[in-house]
Amino acid sequence: MPTATYDDTTVPVDDQGFFTDPGRWTEPMAEQIAREDGIATLTDRHWIVIRFMRAQYEVKGTGPTVRILGKTSGVGVKELYRLFPKGPAKTAARIAGIPKPRGCL
């Protein structure tokens, strides 16, 4: 299985770079993962989404899709795409150290 090293810790990831063991993720890793996805700095608004991703994953075992994020995270769809231009649910999931959310909406 591929691995990646963030904050001096080596963690297992899938072939798209998503954590396969979310328990290994720590907050200091987020900035480095974000930079790999072209996000230079994580703002408070990014963190609202990242923490929401993790909270949803804890409860449901899967990350939310963009539609759910837009309706329930407190950050609207337009802003989500401004914060995470390469796909909000997908990018935020990777930064939050959870598997890629599945779902068609």
Partner 1 sequence: MSDTRTKVATATTTAPESTPAAPSVPAPAATIEKVSIIVSKGSLEGIYPALIMANGARAEGIEADLFFTFFGLDAITKKRWEHIKLATVGNPGLHLPTLLGGMPGVPDLVTRVMERKMDRLDIPPIPEFIEMIADTGAGIYACQASVDLFGLERNDLVEQVQGVITVGEFYERAAGSQIIYT
> How many Å is the Cα radius of gyration of the chain?
13
**How many degrees, rounded to 5, is the angle at CA 100 between CA 11 and CA 10?**
5
Pair of tokens at residue 13: 């990831």
Catalytic position from the list 1, 40, 104, 105: 104
Catalytic, 51? Answer: no
Pair of tokens at residue 8: 């001096």
Beta carbon nearer to partner 1, 5 or 26: 5
Shortest spacing between CB 43 and partner 1, in angstroms: 19
Residues in contact with partner 1 by CB under 8 A are 1-6, 10, 13, 15-17, 32, 36-37, 65-68, 70, 76-78, 81, 85-91, 104-105
The residues that are catalytic are 104
